[in-house]
């Protein structure tokens, strides 16, 4: 009997030792990992980049029903659209973002953005950002009018600059670049009553000097077409985006790009 008790106590002791050992090993692993990782103040935020929302059979055009399907997917899967201001504050000051934040952007300012995308975005209670080419607005019928841009700005959508003429900035000298940056900013301020704080590079091209000029012109962040997500490692003047194009299987491509970006980024495959 005594002998039996002793072995039970022995077995219990072994179990207790194993339990404590595994718990401590677990704790150690967590502490070690935390020490290796940089402090994260901002979650990874996918920034989607669209151009046209219409039925033209070109890569830049996503059909309205496809766009609706993509927005429905985001809505049903708990994504919350954020503004560039929210992203900026999260990156700069660690101000928390809603769950599953996503920033939706459009480049160039095509008329279909107002006619097709805007009603769909409103239907899902989403917000978005439109980077417009100021000399094309109200001049070229393929692009929006100032009244349309104004209406979206007044509904809480963000309007950013995409320069005056859409010339790739790498083809211009410093004075010409500054003119593109400041004249588009002045025009937006004159039309909308507020200075634009966000900028998107025409054709996505930039270099260190251009980034500096964008900062000097008073913009807080600039967006590229470099594939990736915005996070604490992002440079404010070269924020990554996820371009969404029309393909043979637009929704599947959209889904893969939105879902795969965090994984590819964690693996270090889409930072360069």
Closer to Zn ion by CB, 83 or 165: give it.
165
Closer to Zn ion by CB, 169 or 270: give it.
169
Residue 23 has φ and ψ, to the nearest 5°, of: -60, -45
Closer to Zn ion by CB, 84 or 202: give it.
202
Q: Work out how close the CB of 232 gets to Zn ion at its nearest, in angstroms, rounded to a whole number.
A: 27
Residue 68 found at the interface with Zn ion (CB under 5 A): no
**Secondary structure of 100-153 in HEC code, one letter for each residue:** CEEEEEEEECEHHHHHHHHHHHHHCCCCCEEEECCCCCCCCCCECCHHHHHHHH
Pairing of strands 45-50, 101-108: parallel
Near Zn ion by CB under 5 A: residue from 44, 54, 68, 108: 108
Distance CA 208, CA 237 (A): 9
Strand partners, 61: 52
**Helices 250-266 and 64-76: angle between axes, nearest 10 degrees:** 50
Determine the interface stretch with Zn ion among 57-65, 104-112, 219-227, 240-248 (rule: CB under 5 A). 104-112
Q: What's the DSSP call for residue 125?
A: T
Near Zn ion by CB under 5 A: residue from 44, 54, 107, 180: 107
Distance CA 245, CA 249 (A): 10
Nearest residue (beta carbon) to Zn ion: 107
Residue 231 found at the interface with Zn ion (CB under 5 A): no
Residue 180 found at the interface with Zn ion (CB under 5 A): no
Q: Work out how close the CB of 58 gets to Zn ion at its nearest, in angstroms, rounded to a whole number.
A: 14
Pairing of strands 80-81, 101-108: parallel
Residue 44 found at the interface with Zn ion (CB under 5 A): no
Residue 191 found at the interface with Zn ion (CB under 5 A): no
Closer to Zn ion by CB, 107 or 240: give it.
107
Closer to Zn ion by CB, 118 or 143: give it.
143
> Which residues are at the interface with Zn ion (CB under 5 A)?
107-108, 202
């Amino acid at each position: 009997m005594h002998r039996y008790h002793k072995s039970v106590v022995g077995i219990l002791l072994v179990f207790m030792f194993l339990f404590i050992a595994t718990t401590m090993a677990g704790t150690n692993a967590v502490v070690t990992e935390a020490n290796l990782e940089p402090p994260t103040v901002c979650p990874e935020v996918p920034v989607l980049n669209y151009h046209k929302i219409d039925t033209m059979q070109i890569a830049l055009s996503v059909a309205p029903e496809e766009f609706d399907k993509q927005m429905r997917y985001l809505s049903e899967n708990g994504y919350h659209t954020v503004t560039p201001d929210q992203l900026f504050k999260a990156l700069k000051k660690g101000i928390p973002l809603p769950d599953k934040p996503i920033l939706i952007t459009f480049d160039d300012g095509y008329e279909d953005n107002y006619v097709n995308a805007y009603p769909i975005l409103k239907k899902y209670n989403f917000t978005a950002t439109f980077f417009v080419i100021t000399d094309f607005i109200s001049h070229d019928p393929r692009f929006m009018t100032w009244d349309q841009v104004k209406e979206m700005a007044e509904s809480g959508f963000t309007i950013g600059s995409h320069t005056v003429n859409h010339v790739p900035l790498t083809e211009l000298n410093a004075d010409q670049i500054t003119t593109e940056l400041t004249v588009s900013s002045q025009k937006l301020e004159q039309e909308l009553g507020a200075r634009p704080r966000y900028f998107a590079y025409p054709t996505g091209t930039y270099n260190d000097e251009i980034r500096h000029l964008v900062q000097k012109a008073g913009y807080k962040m600039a967006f590229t077409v470099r594939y990736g997500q915005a996070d604490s490692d992002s440079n404010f003047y070269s924020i990554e985006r996820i371009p969404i194009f029309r393909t043979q299987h637009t929704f599947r491509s959209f889904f893969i790009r939105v879902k795969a970006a965090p994984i590819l980024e964690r693996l270090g495959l889409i930072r360069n």
